[in-house]
């Protein structure tokens, strides 16, 4: 079955520290993969996307993600976290027929 | 312009009220979506319109009635809602994902926070 797993419900990092949010997917074909960010009470903003080509993709706000087919993973990274990055992060895969499966989300807390 | 707008931002309604949520985009997208999001959960798809026609209804109760008057507008009419319908309602739009070379990235509005009393 198609699915997206974000193993970490929440993560706390210190400001200025590096960040990695994990995402594993289950999908038979070449996946369209996305990371979205949602600040409290707001809509989802697309951070980055992957379909083909270079497996390391750059996004907005200094985020990047690496697609690893062998591990069925699409982890999100940022070298230095800012307090404004505190938010909910959703990994997602487009499964066809207008449908996107979202992971359960990872809440990022940033401590001073 | 990569913005999806939604009105109102907040809505409180009684179980006997009729209200509508509105969504607008001017990106030329021909697919528009309604999602429901409960606290600490991912968005759940409710409806999809493609070229102003309803393509997907995820078995949503009839007290929710979507409408797509034109390619830029999407409405969600609400009637006789239940307290468990309280949630953040998100609108999104995208290019037709069936077109070659199009990535199915969705652009989301800020949502309407709905409270049913």
DSSP string of chain A, one letter each residue: --EEE---SEEEEETTS-EEE--EEE-SSPPEEEEEEE-TTS-EEEEEEESSS-SEEE-GGG-EEEEEGGGTEEEEEESS--GGG-EEEEEEEEEETTEEEEP--EEEEEE-
**Residue B1 confidence (pLDDT):** 63
A98 touches chain B (CB under 8 A): yes
Asked whether the beta carbons of B7 and B20 are under 8 A apart, the reply is no
Tokens representing B113 are 């926070």
Cross-chain Cβ contact B42/A105 below 8 Å = yes
pLDDT the model gives residue A91: 98
- Can you give the pLDDT at residue A54? 86
The answer to whether residues A82 and A110 touch, using CB atoms and an 8 Å cutoff, is: yes
The answer to whether residue B8 neighbours chain A at the CB level (below 8 Å) is no
Comparing A14-28, A80-94, B91-105, which segment has the lowest mean pLDDT? B91-105
Residue B68 predicted with pLDDT over 80: yes
**Strand duo A10-14 + A106-111: pairing:** parallel
Substitution target in A95, A100, A106, A109 with the highest count of B β-carbons within 10 Å is A100
Lowest-confidence segment of A51-55, B42-46, B50-54, B97-101 by average pLDDT: B97-101
pLDDT digits (tens, 9 = 90+) for A36-85: 999 988 899 999 999 888 899 999 999 999 999 999 999 999 999 999 99
């Amino acid at each position: 079955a198609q699915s997206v797993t974000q193993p970490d419900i929440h993560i706390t990092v210190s400001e200025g520290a590096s960040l990695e949010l994990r995402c594993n997917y289950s999908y038979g074909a070449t996946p369209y993969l996305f990371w979205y960010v949602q600040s409290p009470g707001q809509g989802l903003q697309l951070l980055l996307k992957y379909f083909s080509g270079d497996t390391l993709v750059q996004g907005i706000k200094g985020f990047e993600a690496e697609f690893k087919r062998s591990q069925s993973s699409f982890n999100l990274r940022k070298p230095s976290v800012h307090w404004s990055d505190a938010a909910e992060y959703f990994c997602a895969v487009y499964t066809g027929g207008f449908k996107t499966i979202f992971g359960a989300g990872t809440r990022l807390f940033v401590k001073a | 312009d990569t913005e999806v707008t939604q009105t109102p931002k907040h809505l409180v309604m009684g179980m006997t009220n009729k209200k509508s949520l509105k969504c607008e985009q001017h990106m030329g997208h021909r697919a528009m979506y309604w999602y429901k999001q409960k606290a600490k959960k991912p968005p759940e798809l409710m409806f999809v319109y493609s070229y102003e026609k309803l393509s997907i209804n995820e078995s949503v109760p009839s007290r929710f009635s979507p409408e797509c008057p034109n390619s830029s507008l999407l409405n969600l009419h609400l009637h006789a809602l239940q307290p468990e319908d309280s949630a953040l309602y998100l609108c999104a739009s995208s290019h037709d994902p069936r077109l070659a070379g199009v990535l199915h990235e969705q652009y989301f509005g800020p949502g309407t926070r709905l409270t049913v009393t």
